[in-house]
Amino acid sequence: MRKNPERRTALVDAAIEVLAREGARGLTFRAVDVEAGVPAGTASNYFASRDDLFTQAGGRIYERLQPDAPTMAKAADGAYDRATLTELMYELVGRIAAFRTGYLALLELRLEATRRPELRAVLTERVRADIDANLSNHGESRMPGDATSVLLLYLALNWLIVEQLTLPEIFTEREVRDLVAAAVERALPATPCPPAPAGVPAPGPGR
Amino acid sequence: MRKNPERRTALVDAAIEVLAREGARGLTFRAVDVEAGVPAGTASNYFASRDDLFTQAGGRIYERLQPDAPTMAKAADGAYDRATLTELMYELVGRIAAFRTGYLALLELRLEATRRPELRAVLTERVRADIDANLSNHGESRMPGDATSVLLLYLALNWLIVEQLTLPEIFTEREVRDLVAAAVERALPATPCPPAPAGVPAPGPGR
DNA sequence: ACTGTAGTACTACAGATGGAGTGGTGTCAA
DNA sequence: TTGACACCACTCCATCTGTAGTACTACAGT
């Protein structure tokens, strides 16, 4: 088992590309070698098994997907209002969709996790950490919305990204933007009303 | 190219199982033969190519996923209020998650659509039809909520199902139920307020 | 009842690809 | 010199596609 860390990272990153392009079943030692531009057999020396490749790729994707310095800064510095939150979510979708191969690889890994308990454990831990991080980030910032808002946004935006990456013709760019805005808008708990026009008690479907 | 329609259907259904279990790359003529319990070579006689297999499977899944007589009836007959809608959505999530292999196969196909234009065209058409059907069903029924509500529910619930099927330990059954309820609750446009307590102008994050 | 024919089920094979794993050799630096 | 790694080569193995060829079944015409 070789140690060289740069090489190892390069190989894992190559594995992500292969995953996105060829699918989980296409992730082989040889394919990684080719993608990374190293001699055949190299990946064999760096990973104990294919399982190992999968789990390392799973870990690495979150490493690359999670942190995002400039956005984090904006999240911390910006105003804590709905408009800023919308802007942030819009950036989030754009940013993740931009790392197309990473997200597609992640989907492949999720499906592969169906078959590989070890991978499932790794992904479960990462996803849980991701969600928890979102929750506590949101809690610490003073953005509007509660924990439920965060979870609902998580759900809706994830599928929105799936839709964009796999069947881009379903929603236009405009529709995507509108959906992000609507998701933020409605994910927030009902806000107290602006002062009602007049004595009209405003019926409508009460909760 | 053989014609026997029962056999063809059986083969396509077998293909769906294979997709869910082995992934897109594992969908081969031989694997379909084995899954369907027919002699080797049979699938070769029924499908012009692997592409053909994929597109036929894509069509068939929606055939099996879409219609659902009892639920449709409930949607039409039930009361048109939020509680009924919630119940309906809960059933929807349960029902789709129950056809586990079908939904997983669909995800595999979405990823494969990334590589096969023909398959992408088929899926795009089906998904669009699905969304349109949801929109118009909702419009015709007199359920609360607007088109945006339907789309947001579509997004959130889809990912919720993905989460359940691929990493079931992330959300407990209870959390899933709560998330479905919250999704319905908040997907609906903000309702007019109940009469405010007193002259307090209700500040909070204005839009 | 006989037979020809068409459609289909089943079998077998040719040809080819691609991958896992491993051992061996070259190279460089401590 | 020794150890760690890069690189290369080779063997063994599993699988797939596409197609050709054979066997079965049903039916129609006579």
> What is the structure's pLDDT at A1?
73
Q: Which of A31-35, A84-88, A199-203, B23-27 has the lowest mean pLDDT?
A: A199-203
Instruction: Work out if A148's Cβ lies within 7 angstroms of strand C.
Output: no
Query: How far apart, in Å, are the Cα atoms of B192 and each of A196, A204, B108, B109?
Result: 9, 7, 43, 43
Model confidence over A155-192: pLDDT tens digits?
Answer: 999 999 999 999 999 999 999 999 999 999 999 987 65
pLDDT value at A35 more than 60? yes
Those of residues 3-32 in A touching chain B at CB distance below 8 A are 21-26
| pLDDT in the model for residue B26 | 92
Q: Which of residues 168-207 of B touch strand D (CB under 7 A)?
A: none
Q: For A38-81, how does the pLDDT look when each residue is reduced to its tens digit (9 = 90+)?
A: 998 899 999 988 999 999 999 999 888 876 667 777 777 778 88
For residue B68, the model assigns a pLDDT of 67
pLDDT the model gives residue A204: 44
Q: Does position B205 have pLDDT exceeding 50, yes or no? A: no
Does residue B206 surpass a pLDDT of 70?
Answer: no
pLDDT given for residue A68 in this prediction: 67
Q: Nearest by CB to A193, from B149, B151, B193: name it.
A: B193
Q: Cβ atoms within 10 A of the Cβ of B174, count?
A: 8
Secondary element (H or E) of residue B165: helix B147-166
Q: Please tell me whether any atom of strand C lies within 7 Å of the Cβ of B40.
A: yes
| Residue A192 to residue B193, Cβ atoms within 8 A | yes
pLDDT digits (tens, 9 = 90+) for B168-197: 999 999 999 999 999 999 999 876 665 555
Which tokens sit at A144?
Answer: 């509007």
Residues of chain B with CATH 1.10.10.60: 5-63
Positions 43-72 in A, CB within 7 angstroms of strand D: 45
CA distance to A6, A19, A126, per residue, from A12 (Å) = 10, 10, 17
pLDDT given for residue B97 in this prediction: 85
- CB-based contact, B166 to chain A, within 8 Å: yes
Query: Which has the minimum average pLDDT: A12-16, A79-83, A132-136, A162-166?
Result: A79-83
Q: Is the pLDDT of residue B114 over 50?
A: yes
Q: Which CATH architecture has domain B5-63?
A: Orthogonal Bundle (1.10)
- The CATH architecture assigned to A67-187 reads Orthogonal Bundle (1.10)
Contacts of A18 (CB under 8 A, 6+ apart): A26, A27, A31, A32, A35
CATH 1.10.357.10 domain position(s) in chain B? 67-187
Could you read off the pLDDT of B36-82 as tens digits, one per residue?
A: 999 888 999 999 888 889 999 999 998 888 666 677 777 777 788 88
